[in-house]
Structure 1
Amino acid sequence: MPAECQENIKRLIPRPKTPVVKPPMYRSVYTDSIRRAFKANKDCHRTMGYAEVQLDPPTRFLKKHTRKVVRPFVEKTKVTRPKSSLEEMAEKKIAEGCEKIPRKPLPDPNENKIRKNIKQINMVDVIRKVPPLTKHRVQDTRNGHIIVLDEAGLEPTYVSKKNFGKTPVYILKMYKEKEKARIMENERIKAIKPPLRYIPEHERNKLLNGLKINWAELQKEFQLLPMITDTLPKMKKKTMLEKQLKDLEKDIDLLERSPALYVCRDADDGESVE
């Protein structure tokens, strides 16, 4: 059951409630002065404007373009740009008594000017101009819509070209470069000695017999080891012999299964591939 529903003898006697003591409200030290200043200036503007100001009647309300705006007078001053070094040099030479700087002569108004007859030039150009060829147009709808076959891509223009159906020049050039590179690579390979050398039958048998002899010697040495390998050197020797025997068995098996063998040619080996 919840704690509120449980009966207790202590709850039969009513307990007095402890009053909550609140801290005093904050009061600024300027409260009284602000209240006095507010009451002193409260009724100073109760009416619309000051009493001594004469207000305009309602009929004289502010209208457009009636206010006189007096703009301040601005005196115009002429701004002179700074002289360049060439101008200062010219003034200095003139002051020293030198000759004046020659200027471009002005055109003579009495001189006869050759005027172009633009109309005559246009007439000659039109007469000499080659007339354009008629365009092949077709009406494709009953409403009169016309399309130009050449511009729409419906005219067989590429078939009439001279190089139609021929291999492009850049592809032929690419083929020639590839063939040239292939021939050069073949010549380079032929010039280099082949990296592998074929082992003849007698040499393979000789190598196989030598591997078998080595395996027999290692097997004999392995069988002579003690039965108990209780020291570290004995364990190392046994592991080494097992590894060597395993490698020799792999080599013997490879030579017996492969009748044709090729080995890498040494740099000083002068034999050729058989």
Structure 2
Amino acid sequence: MVIKKVMTSSGLAPYDTKRPTICRGEENILNLIPINRILPPIPKRYTGYVSCFHPQAVIERRKNRHCRRTMGWALEPLKDPNCFLKKNCGIKQPSHCVTKYKHEPRLPPIPKDPPLMNLRRDTDFIRQNAAENILLKGCPNQIRRGIVDDRNGHFEPLINSGLERKYIYKPNYGKTPKYILRRYRQQFDTQQAEDRYNGEFLVRGTSKLLCDDEKEALIWGLKHNWEAVNKEYICGLKASDSTVQQR
């Protein structure tokens, strides 16, 4: 910005040659003069070395972006109900799911006594140990089965990832737990006892249809009881009359 000075009544004063800001909608003669705007050059993002394989790497990365995603187990058709699982015909546990380790035989103890007269044996212990290790281990290490759950290549064993269905090899797989069976049994016994009590209560509260013999015996008993009570009542009245006359 260029600053000039102009002569005023109070002396020299700075004068800014920058074009004044004009709001839109206002009429001004300066708006009629065209202005040539020159945009500044855009700097490059990276001015260092760029490999000639960069475009190919970008295409391959975009192409293989979703190749390591997992969508769960593949859908399989249902089996026929007649082909049910029979005894001793289930899925056996594969060898890669076995977590137990076989203990290797221990090596012979180190001899405590030194060799006599500094005599050395002719046995080549290096070759002997190499041969024993090769025979014990057998084939080389197997390929590790795992899953990559990150775009940066984070590897995790398949058994610990949750995608390996190792729970189906448990002896109690597909069986109802014991505590649920115990609860069902308790509920069944409680319901039976309640039904039995309700049935007895209803039978106790309803009227019973008597036969002719029972009906006659009941009437005879009621009459007998009424006669006995009436006799006691009359005897009590006679006693009360005699006491009144004596007075």
Query: Aligning the two structures, in what range does the TM-score lie when normalised by the shorter sequence?
Result: under 0.3
TM-score by length of 2: 0.25
Q: Of the two, which has the highest radius of gyration?
A: 1
TM-score by length of 1: 0.23
